[in-house]
């Protein structure tokens, strides 16, 4: 048996991990910076933009549901072809493009995201020379709202279409102080082979993952507002 790359071995003999999923996670401790970006978003976004895409469990955002009235050739760009009934947040959410604001604080956020993307690309032997954040959504979750995000991914292409190197991600400006009565309050989950892999969001946490990985957010119950910038970033050229 021949492999051109080292195997990812486990502690068990004769077992190895094939094609592990690369995920970048870094914690930034400069809370004053996170607070400043949090306040900038409050001033910049409308009430509708701040909560676009949030959902109650098993209920779908009406603004996205209307996308299913569009012609099927457009829908296939956003929905897996073998789905007869699209699932929750796979509805396309129009971005509020917060990361396009001309502001030094936003530039700093973009630099942190770009650095993480470059590190991820290097880790899978696909170095990049130029990248672009193509979409971004800054969302504010109200205290005790019970809102989250149903299972979805960020796939943007039809089968057979050439795909760029792209990752999706989230940058947490505030975790909202989840209450202990709801142990999974606002927890971020990757859905992989029928199992959930949870991450507990923290203020200043940056996460990036492959765009086609299905993920969700558990209903949020917290003492204060939670704020997260979600985004897609891809290689250019």
Cα–Cα nearest to 221, from 141, 150, 151, 152:
141
Whether residue 8 is contained in a domain is answered as: no
Res 58: pLDDT: 59
Strand-by-strand arrangement of the 215-220 sheet: 147-152, 215-220, 188-192, 195-199
**What is the spatial distance between Cα 61 and Cα 149, in angstroms, rounded to a whole number?**
10
The separation between CA 110 and the C-alpha centre of its own chain, rounded to angstroms, equals 15
Q: How many domains does the chain have?
A: 1
* pTM score of the predicted model: 0.81
Looking up residue 104, the CATH number of its domain turns out to be: 2.60.120.620
Whether residue 10 is contained in a domain is answered as: no
Res 102: pLDDT: 96
Whether residue 42 is contained in a domain is answered as: yes
| Per-residue pLDDT tens listing for the chain (237 residues) | 334 445 555 566 677 766 788 999 999 999 999 999 999 999 988 877 777 666 666 555 555 444 444 444 434 333 444 444 333 334 567 788 999 999 999 999 999 999 999 999 998 888 888 899 999 999 999 998 888 887 888 876 666 667 778 999 999 999 999 998 888 999 999 998 888 999 999 999 999 999 888 888 999 999 999 999 999 999 986
Number of Cβ atoms within 10 Å of the Cβ of 64: 21
**What is the spatial distance between Cα 172 and Cα 236, in angstroms, rounded to a whole number?**
26
Helix (H, G, I), strand (E, B) or coil at 223: coil
Cα–Cα nearest to 217, from 183, 189, 196:
189
Whether residue 132 is contained in a domain is answered as: yes
Q: Which residues contact 108 (CB under 8 A, 6 or more apart)?
A: 33
Whether residue 59 is contained in a domain is answered as: yes
Whether residue 69 is contained in a domain is answered as: yes
Whether residue 3 is contained in a domain is answered as: no
Whether residue 156 is contained in a domain is answered as: yes
CB 227 within 8 A of CB 35: no
Range of the domain at 196: 19-235
């Amino acid at each position: 048996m021949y492999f051109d790359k080292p195997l990812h071995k486990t502690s068990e003999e004769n077992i190895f991990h094939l094609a592990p999923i690369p995920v970048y996670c870094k914690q930034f401790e400069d809370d004053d910076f996170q607070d400043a970006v949090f306040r900038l978003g409050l001033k910049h976004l409308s009430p509708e933009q701040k909560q676009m895409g949030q959902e109650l469990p098993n209920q779908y955002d009406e603004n996205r549901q209307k996308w299913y009235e569009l012609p099927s050739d457009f829908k296939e760009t956003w929905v897996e072809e073998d789905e007869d009934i699209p699932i929750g947040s796979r509805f396309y959410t129009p971005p509020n493009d917060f990361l396009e604001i001309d502001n030094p604080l936003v530039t700093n956020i973009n630099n942190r995201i770009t650095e993480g993307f470059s590190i991820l690309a290097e880790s899978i032997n696909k170095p990049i020379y130029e990248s672009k954040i193509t979409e971004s959504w800054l969302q504010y979750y109200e205290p005790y709202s019970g809102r989250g995000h149903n299972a979805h991914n960020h796939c943007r292409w039809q089968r057979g279409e050439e795909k760029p190197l792209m990752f999706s991600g989230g940058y947490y400006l505030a975790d909202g102080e989840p209450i202990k009565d709801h142990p999974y309050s606002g927890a971020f989950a990757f859905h992989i082979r029928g199992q959930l892999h949870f991450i507990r969001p923290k203020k200043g946490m940056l996460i990036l993952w492959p765009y086609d990985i299905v993920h969700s957010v558990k209903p949020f119950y917290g003492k204060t507002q939670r704020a997260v910038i979600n985004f897609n970033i891809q290689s250019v050229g």
